[in-house]
C-alpha cells in the first residue's frame, strides 16, 4: 500500500474533442459496415471497431492511461474475462 500522492494528469480539452470525434467516426463506420454483407466477418469487424472505441474511452475518458498500474491490471483482468466469454460463445455461434 505504498500509495504516494502523485500529481494528477490534466488532459487538454482538445484531446477530448478529438477522441469524441473519433468515436463518432467509428460509430458511423460500424453502421455502414453493417449494411455490407460480409457474412461471418460482419460480427468480427463490428467487435473489432467496438474494441478500439472502448480502448479510447477507457484510456482517455476514464484516465486509465495516466493512472496507477494496479488499475491497468484490474482492467486487463476484466478484459481478458470478457474476451474468453466472447470466444466461448463463438463455439456455439460459428458451429450451429
Partner 1 sequence: MTNSSAVLNQKSFYEEGNTKAKSGLAAWIFSTDHKRIGLMYLSAIAIFFSVAAIIGIFMRLELISTGKDLMDAQTYNTLFTLHGVIMIFLFIIPGIPAVFGNFFLPLQLGARDVSFPRLNLFSFWIYITGAILVLLSLVLPGGPIDTGWTFYIPYSVRSGTNISLAIFAAFVLGFSSILTGINFITTVHRLRAPGMSWFKMPLFVWATYATAWIQIIATPVIAITIVLVIIERLFGVGIFDPSLGGDPILYQHLFWIYSHPAVYIMILPAMGVVSEIIPTFARRTIFGYKAIAISSLAIAFVGYLVWAHHMFTSGMSDTARWIFSLLTFLVALPSGVKVFNWVATMYKGSIDPKPPFLWVMNFIFLFSIGGLTGLVLGSLVTDVHLHDTYFVVAHFHYVMFGGTGTIFFAALYYWFPKIFGKMYNIKTANIGVALFFVAFNLLYFPKFILGYMGMPRRYYDFLPEFESLQFVSTVGSWLMLITLILIIWNLMHGILRGRKSESNPWGGVTLEWHTSSPPPLENFKVIPEVKHEPYDFSQLEDMKND
User: In the window 61-80, what residues touch partner 1 (CB under 8 A)?
Assistant: 70, 77-78
**Residue 81 interacts with partner 1 (CB under 8 A)?**
yes
Long-range contacts of 84-88 (CB under 8 A, 24+ apart): 86/47
Query: How many C-alpha atoms does 40 have within 13 Å on its Cβ side?
Result: 6
Q: Which of 6, 8, 9, 96 binds partner 1 (CB under 8 A)?
A: 96
**Residue 91 interacts with partner 1 (CB under 8 A)?**
yes
19, three cell numbers = 477522441
Minimum separation from the CB atom of position 8 to partner 1 (A)? 18
Helix, strand, or coil here: 55? helix
The residue ranges that bind partner 1 (CB under 8 A) are 1, 3, 70, 77-78, 81-82, 84-85, 88-89, 91-96
Amino acid at each position: 500500500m505504498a500509495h504516494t500522492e502523485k500529481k494528477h494528469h490534466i488532459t487538454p480539452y482538445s484531446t477530448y474533442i478529438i477522441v469524441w470525434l473519433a468515436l463518432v467516426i467509428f460509430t458511423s463506420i460500424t453502421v455502414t459496415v453493417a449494411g455490407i454483407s460480409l457474412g461471418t466477418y460482419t460480427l468480427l469487424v463490428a467487435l473489432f471497431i467496438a474494441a478500439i472505441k472502448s480502448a479510447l474511452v477507457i484510456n482517455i475518458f476514464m484516465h486509465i492511461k495516466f493512472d496507477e498500474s494496479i488499475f491497468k491490471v484490474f482492467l486487463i483482468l476484466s478484459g481478458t474475462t470478457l474476451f474468453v466469454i466472447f470466444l466461448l460463445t463463438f463455439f456455439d455461434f460459428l458451429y450451429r
